[in-house]
């Protein structure tokens, strides 16, 4: 099947599906300037062992080092802007063709693109909380403390260490993940965009869907089971999908 035939087939599947969900990973945000985790030469995990730098035990053992290694990268996430793929999924939702987005990303780009239903299964960088008293703060408050020389950033009430509301290595999955496992029931079509489908338990979610479409630059473990596989940048693929979609309206 040629690339154009694949795009036409994806559009047909989306139009015919009565319940479609998107599952997105780091690859959907690379065109917004956010590096992914596993790409050879540029992947974030090639530079830092996440088990040592982005884990719950790393935060507890040496919170100052945890923030020194991770915070500037997270601040950069918050300056990124949604790209064509994020906006395309939001448009599909507004057209009534997408139930919502399940995302592994913590960059909030789906939310910023105007998506109404987003399950952020690894959390987000909009808020943080105290590890001692659980008091909640904006993520900006944490950043301001760090930039003022308070490393690690601390709670204004009890002086406990603050932590972002993201799922770190060794953390339990959050409430959004458990909601996603419920909403996926009856999913006829899952659009996987920019995910290598290797990080569990999220990588197991496509197995629930009746059909899968995968748009990812590199192969995934689900490619052989997918109805359509497109090895292309997500931004380009979704621009082409939306262009083809517009022909029928």
User: Which amino acids are annotated as binding site for Zn(2+), given as ranges?
Assistant: 130, 133, 155, 158
* Separation CA 143–CA 67 (nearest Å): 10
**84-94 vs 234-246: helix axis angle to the nearest 10?**
40
Whether the Cβ atoms of residue 153 and residue 112 lie closer than 8 Å to each other = no
For residue 131, the number of C-alpha atoms closer than 13 Å in the C-beta half-sphere is 16
Q: Please identify every residue annotated as catalytic.
A: 122
Whether the Cβ atoms of residue 135 and residue 151 lie closer than 8 Å to each other = no
Whether the Cβ atoms of residue 9 and residue 1 lie closer than 8 Å to each other = yes
Helices (H), the chain: 3-16, 44-47, 50-53, 56-61, 63-77, 84-94, 109-112, 139-147, 175-183, 234-246
């Amino acid at each position: 099947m040629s690339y154009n035939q694949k795009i036409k087939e994806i559009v047909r599947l989306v139009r015919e599906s009565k319940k479609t969900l998107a599952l997105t990973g780091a690859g959907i945000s690379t065109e917004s300037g956010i590096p992914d985790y596993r790409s050879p030469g540029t992947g974030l995990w090639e530079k830092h062992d996440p088990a040592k730098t982005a884990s719950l035990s790393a935060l507890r053992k040496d919170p100052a080092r945890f923030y020194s290694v991770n915070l500037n990268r997270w601040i950069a996430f918050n300056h990124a802007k949604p790209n064509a793929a994020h906006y395309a999924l939001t448009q599909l939702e507004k057209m009534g063709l997408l139930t919502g987005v399940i995302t592994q990303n913590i960059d909030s780009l789906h939310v910023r693109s105007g998506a109404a239903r987003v399950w952020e299964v690894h959390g987000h960088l909009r808020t943080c909380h105290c590890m001692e008293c659980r008091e909640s703060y904006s993520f900006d408050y944490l950043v301001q403390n760090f930039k003022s020389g308070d490393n690690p950033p601390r709670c204004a009430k009890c002086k406990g260490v603050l932590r972002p509301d993201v799922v770190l290595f060794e953390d339990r999955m959050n409430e959004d993940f458990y909601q996603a496992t419920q909403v996926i029931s009856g999913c006829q079509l899952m659009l996987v965009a920019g995910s290598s489908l290797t990080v569990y338990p999220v990588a197991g979610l496509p197995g629930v869907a009746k059909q899968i479409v995968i748009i990812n630059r590199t192969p995934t473990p689900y490619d052989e089971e997918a109805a359509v596989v497109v090895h292309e940048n997500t931004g380009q693929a979704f621009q082409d999908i939306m262009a083809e979609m517009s022909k029928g309206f």
